[in-house]
Amino acid sequence: MNDLVEPLYAEPDVAQFYDFRGAARPDLAFCRKLAGNARSVLDLGCGTGELAALLSEGRRVVGVDPAAAMLDIARTRPDGSTVDWIEGDARTIRLDERFDLVALTGHTFQVFLTAADQRAVIETIAAHLKPSGQFIFDSRNPDFPGGQTRTKETTLRRFTHPGHGEVEAWNESTFDDAAQILSYRNSYRVLKSGEAHTATARIRYTPKNVIAELLQESGLQVERWFGDWTGSTFEPASKEIDPLGRAVPQ
């Protein structure tokens, strides 16, 4: 198994609940507007394909993800029938084309747990940008106060799944301050049958200055640093670190 594919994404029994995670997706509207004039889009770490499918009307879209279970869901999207879904590793994949927009959303950047892996995925972004192309990705800000350690009591919720009915879900996490790595467990219980599923994953929190250095080293320049997907300018206590930029002109 690819070392990026944590159980949370690899196991079909858990992946089926991914799109019911209870969080809004403001990145969808932002990226849809950003892609307005784009004729081609590369969605790295596309997961279940929500963004790729949304952007697929009238343009070429390629969605790349290392988790077969997530791509199986993506391929069933009726609005994603024209997307080219590829099972691949964002650190190493090289496609024989370049794109007007390369996106890495859903905090996918944080699944890369080492500086070497982060550098590799940024180099992949650079390798697939057209000279006039743009990139965008998001990462949670380690300096944003709170929100890193969670318990079942504070995250318990319910949602309705089309195949299972009412499902109870919760999240538990612990944060390693030294490594800046959050380890978490998502759990689901189908109320009708009592069937339960749980899986784990890890993500890394990276300061803005480190991200900026990695981008510069890879020949990318940032035009705007956003603090969230509403388009607000980044500030030290912003919730997110979202760089929008281009390749450095040669």
Question: How confident is the model over 112-156, as pLDDT tens digits?
Answer: 999 999 999 999 999 999 999 999 999 999 998 765 788 999 999
Residue 230 C-alpha from the chain's centroid:
17
pLDDT of residue 81: 94
Residue 24 per-residue DSSP state: -
**The length of the chain, given as a count of residues:** 250
Residue 166 has phi, psi (to 5 degrees) of -70, 130
Q: Exposed, middle or buried: residue 196 (CB in 10 Å: 0-12, 13-18, 19+)?
A: exposed
Residue 129 C-alpha from the chain's centroid:
18
Q: What is the SS3 assignment for 54?
A: helix
Query: Residue 75 CB: number of other CB atoms within 10 A?
Result: 14
Residue 175 has phi, psi (to 5 degrees) of -120, 130
- For residue 99, give both structure tokens: 């794109």
Spans of the chain, pLDDT less than 50: 1
Radius of gyration of the chain (CA): 18
pLDDT of residue 202: 95
Residues with Cβ within 8 Å of residue 75, at least 6 apart in sequence: 49, 85
Q: Exposed, middle or buried: residue 96 (CB in 10 Å: 0-12, 13-18, 19+)?
A: exposed
pLDDT of residue 3: 65
The Cα–Cα gap between 216 and 234 comes to 18
CB-CB contact of 207 with 114 (8 Å): no
The Cα–Cα gap between 7 and 99 comes to 31
Strands 84-87 and 99-104, bridge-based pairing: unpaired
For 137-153, give the DSSP string: E-EE-TTS-S-SS--HH
pLDDT of residue 1: 45
Residues with Cβ within 8 Å of residue 201, at least 6 apart in sequence: 6, 7, 8, 9, 111, 183, 184, 186
CB-CB contact of 234 with 41 (8 Å): no
Q: How far is CA 140 from CA 148, 164, 235, in A?
A: 10, 32, 13
